[in-house]
């Protein structure tokens, strides 16, 4: 795999049973790249390991006064130097490719999972954790993939050095062969504590990031209620916790670094003292002593890969665990196996939720009223095939008798579209905002008129880059340059352009005034004629245009009829729509009903 081949046409189906299994799966998917990096790493490391031999031969040649042997030793040193340079460059290229391809694979997997889950993702996983996984954790796992091949090459080089020294000069070689494994493994007892502290630091950093994001997103509201200092104080406290955790983690890693410096120094000292004693006794030549000394000195280079691997593993293990946890999420748990012979194309027919009993007739505008916003939000997600808390025995939503969970994600999305209560507008032009996958039956202009976006078009036409064409007007990040009502109407227009078989709208007019809401209700009714539409709302204006209204209480449908019928016959419905008190609704049936009807007629 080369960087030019990215992104992957198929990133694969990861093993997400645990973080360790995920890293093993990732390593298997990049076996070719790992072997390439290992090969070049061996060229580099073994050349470094052989360099002391050339130096020792050169010193001995000078001591013996042999010019020919000095020339051969010089040629050997130059050859090894060229191999070191080539190996260093190519191993860096190979390991960087491994890191990039691993990070890209993870990013593609995360992007696909995010697209599959949609808004449900942040309801199952904290927003700060999602940000940490998509940014820092991807880098940490990629780092481990990069280090692994270099570590394998370094370990092989150390074995070769120890074996060669034992054969070359047994008296000193045995000392080196016993000391190198001790140095390599000395930091292992410190790794569990270092890993725990590093994980704690990342956990605190994720919480601080989430808190900062929430504070920035709600800054306007915080200023309005005077709560800036309160949230700033919370962020300061969270920031100090991050700092303290980082200091404790750094102390542990400083101890690991100290061990990796002191022990090699002690080994080098032992080799010098013992080698000098052997040289004085005439048991080894000066060139042999220089060769062994240089070899021990150069073991510091491959030994650094041991501490780097330990550091990378301690950081990547919790990162891989978090990544696997996100990738393990599904829009539903494993339900019944798809039926064989399912006809192609998007299903049509009534939309039915067996959990709540909500049934939206095909081609009609159905309104759903609930006194609990959380219940309404969960219903909207379930109707779109994204239950917030799926269970293995869940009952799938049906469209024309076809379980929505059995459809491939693309067909399920094309069949049922859910507009969230707080839709997000991406930055770009209005034309780009409305350039979404659509049936082609609804033009952008018709959708904008139905959502009553006249003032939005005027504002975008006057914006920078708009000129005389509002479709070229620039929408800033998350639509911050627009009011809440304008953002809501643009989001509605985007949903209408898509023109799905079933459109589910969760409080689509909560941020607009009554006059605008009346125009939107009429436009929605007209544009969606013959298409199934479900609106979750308590607005009398939208309810009065609905073909059928359903009342949900306790998570299930308790009443059904037209808006006016329910106003007349159901006290609980009347109390919800008129913002009255359910306990006293029976005593005020007449006035409450008259007020609701008068409000509806006046706004219409």
Q: What does the DSSP assignment read for 466-534?
A: TTT-GGGPEE-GGGTTS-HHHHHHHHHHHHHHH--SEEEEESTTTTS-HHHHHHHHHHHHHHTTTSEEE
388-446 per-position pLDDT tens digit? 555 545 678 899 888 887 888 778 888 899 888 877 888 888 888 888 888 888 898 99
Q: What is the mean pLDDT of residues 585-602?
A: 45
The sign one gets for the Cα dihedral 488, 491, 496, 502 is: negative
Is beta strand 502-506 parallel, antiparallel or unpaired with respect to 416-419? parallel
Q: Which residue has the higher pLDDT, 184 or 505?
A: 505
Q: Alpha-carbon distance 196 to 178, whole Å?
A: 31
Q: Are 136 and 144 in contact (CB under 8 A)?
A: no
Question: Which of left, alpha, beta for 143 (phi over 0: left; psi -120 to 50: alpha)?
Answer: alpha
Q: Are 138 and 109 in contact (CB under 8 A)?
A: no
Give pLDDT, residue 558.
94
Give pLDDT, residue 583.
42
Q: Are 560 and 364 in contact (CB under 8 A)?
A: no
Give pLDDT, residue 223.
57
What are the CA-CA distances from residue 354 to residues 251, 390, 393, 397, 555 (Å)? 57, 14, 12, 7, 11
Q: Residue 153: which residues within 8 A CB-CB, separation 6 or more?
A: 37, 38, 40, 41, 42, 44, 45, 91, 302, 305
Q: Residue 32, class by beta-carbon neighbours within 10 Å (0-12 exposed, 13-18 middle, 19+ buried)?
A: exposed
Give pLDDT, residue 224.
56
Nearest alpha carbon to residue 453 among 520, 527, 526: 520
Give pLDDT, residue 519.
93
Q: Which residue has the higher pLDDT, 383 or 223?
A: 383
8-26 per-position pLDDT tens digit? 888 889 998 888 899 889 8
Give pLDDT, residue 581.
46
Name the pLDDT band for 567 (thresholds 50, 70, 90): very high
Q: Which two tokens stand for residue 374?
A: 């959380």
The sign one gets for the Cα dihedral 128, 130, 134, 136 is: positive
240-274 per-position pLDDT tens digit? 888 888 888 888 878 887 887 888 888 888 888 88
Question: In the predicted model, is pLDDT for residue 5 greater than 90?
Answer: no
Q: Alpha-carbon distance 431 to 19, whole Å?
A: 42
Lowest model confidence (mean pLDDT) among 322-331, 526-535, 595-604: 595-604
- When computed from its CA atoms, the radius of gyration of the chain, rounded to whole angstroms, is 34
Give pLDDT, residue 339.
45
Lowest model confidence (mean pLDDT) among 166-180, 225-239, 274-288: 225-239
Nearest alpha carbon to residue 206 among 108, 253, 140: 140
CA dihedral 11, 13, 19, 20 (to 10 degrees): -90
Q: Residue 325: which residues within 8 A CB-CB, separation 6 or more?
A: 16, 125
Lowest model confidence (mean pLDDT) among 312-326, 468-482, 563-577: 468-482
Q: Which residue has the higher pLDDT, 281 or 213?
A: 281
Is beta strand 548-553 parallel, antiparallel or unpaired with respect to 365-370? parallel
Q: Which two tokens stand for residue 188?
A: 């292992």
Name the pLDDT band for 279 (thresholds 50, 70, 90): confident
Q: Alpha-carbon distance 163 to 174, whole Å?
A: 9
Give pLDDT, residue 62.
85
Question: In the predicted model, is pLDDT for residue 294 greater than 70?
Answer: yes
Nearest alpha carbon to residue 93 among 54, 47, 149: 149
Beta bridge partners of 559: 551
Lowest model confidence (mean pLDDT) among 215-219, 252-256, 541-545, 564-568: 215-219
DSSP reduced 3-state for 440: coil
Helix (H), strand (E), coil (C) string for 225-236: HCCHHHHHHHHH
pLDDT, the chain, mean: 81
Question: In the predicted model, is pLDDT for residue 341 greater than 80?
Answer: no
Q: What is the pTM of this model?
A: 0.62
Give pLDDT, residue 534.
95
Give pLDDT, residue 494.
93
The sign one gets for the Cα dihedral 211, 216, 217, 223 is: positive
Q: Alpha-carbon distance 508 to 521, whole Å?
A: 10
What are the CA-CA distances from residue 364 to residues 289, 537, 550 (Å)? 92, 16, 13
Q: Which residue has the higher pLDDT, 555 or 230?
A: 555
């Amino acid at each position: 795999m080369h960087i030019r081949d990215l992104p992957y046409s198929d990133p694969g189906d990861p093993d997400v049973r645990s973080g360790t299994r995920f890293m093993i799966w990732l390593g298997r998917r990049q076996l070719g790249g790992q072997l390439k990096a290992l090969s070049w790493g061996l060229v580099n490391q073994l050349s470094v390991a052989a360099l002391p031999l050339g130096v020792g031969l050169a010193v001995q040649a000078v001591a013996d006064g042999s010019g020919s042997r000095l020339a051969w030793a010089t040629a050997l040193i130059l050859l090894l130097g060229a191999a070191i340079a080539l190996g260093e460059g190519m191993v860096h290229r190979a390991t960087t490719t491994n890191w990039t391809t691993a990070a890209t694979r993870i990013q593609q997997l995360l992007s696909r999972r995010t697209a599959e889950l949609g808004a449900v993702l942040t309801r199952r996983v904290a927003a700060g954790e999602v940000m940490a996984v998509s940014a820092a954790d991807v880098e940490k796992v990629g780092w481990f993939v990069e280090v692994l091949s270099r570590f394998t090459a370094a370990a092989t080089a150390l074995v070769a050095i120890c074996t060669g020294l034992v054969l070359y000069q047994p008296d000193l070689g045995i000392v080196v062969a016993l000391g190198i494994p001790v140095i390599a493994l000395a930091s292992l007892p410190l790794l569990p504590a270092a890993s725990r502290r590093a994980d704690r630091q990342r956990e605190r950093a994720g919480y601080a990031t989430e808190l900062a994001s929430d504070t920035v997103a709600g800054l306007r509201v915080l200023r309005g209620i005077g709560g800036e200092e309160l949230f700033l104080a919370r962020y300061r406290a969270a920031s100090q916790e991050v700092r303290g955790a980082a200091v404790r983690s750094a102390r542990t890693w400083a101890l690991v670094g100290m061990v990796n410096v002191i022990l090699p120094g002690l080994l080098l000292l032992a080799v010098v003292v013992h080698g000098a004693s052997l040289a004085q006794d005439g048991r080894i030549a000066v060139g042999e002593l220089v060769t062994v000394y240089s070899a021990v000195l150069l073991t510091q280079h491959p030994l650094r890969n041991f501490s780097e691997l330990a550091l990378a593993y301690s950081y990547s293990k919790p990162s891989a665990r978090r990544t696997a946890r996100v990738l393990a999420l599904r829009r539903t748990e494993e339900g019944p196996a798809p039926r064989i012979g399912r006809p192609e194309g998007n299903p049509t027919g009534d939309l039915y939720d067996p959990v709540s009993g909500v049934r939206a007739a095909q081609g009609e505008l159905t309104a759903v009223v609930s006194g609990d916003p959380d219940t309404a939000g969960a219903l909207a997600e379930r109707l779109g095939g994204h239950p917030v808390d799926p269970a293995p025995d869940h009952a799938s939503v049906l469209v024309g008798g076809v379980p929505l969970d059995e459809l491939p994600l693309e067909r399920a999305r094309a069949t049922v579209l859910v507009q969230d209560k707080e839709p997000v507008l991406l930055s770009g032009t209005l034309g780009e905002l409305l350039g979404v996958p659509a049936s082609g039956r609804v033009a952008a202009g018709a959708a904008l008129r139905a959502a009553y976006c006249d003032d939005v078009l005027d504002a975008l036409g006057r914006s920078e880059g708009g000129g005389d064409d509002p479709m070229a007007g620039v929408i800033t990040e998350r639509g911050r340059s627009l009011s809440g009502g304008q953002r809501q109407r643009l989001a509605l227009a985007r949903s209408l352009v898509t023109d799905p078989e079933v459109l589910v709208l969760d409080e689509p007019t909560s941020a607009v005034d009554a006059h605008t809401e009346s125009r939107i209700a009429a436009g929605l009714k007209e544009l969606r004629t013959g298409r199934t539409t479900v609106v979750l709302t308590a607005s009398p204006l939208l309810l009065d245009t609905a073909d059928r209204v359903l009342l949900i209480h306790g998570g299930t449908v308790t009443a059904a009829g037209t808006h006016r019928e329910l106003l007349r016959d159901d006290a609980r419905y009347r109390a919800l729509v008129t913002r009255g008190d359910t306990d006293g609704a029976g005593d005020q049936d007449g006035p409450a009903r008259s007020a609701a009807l008068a409000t509806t007629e006046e706004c219409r």
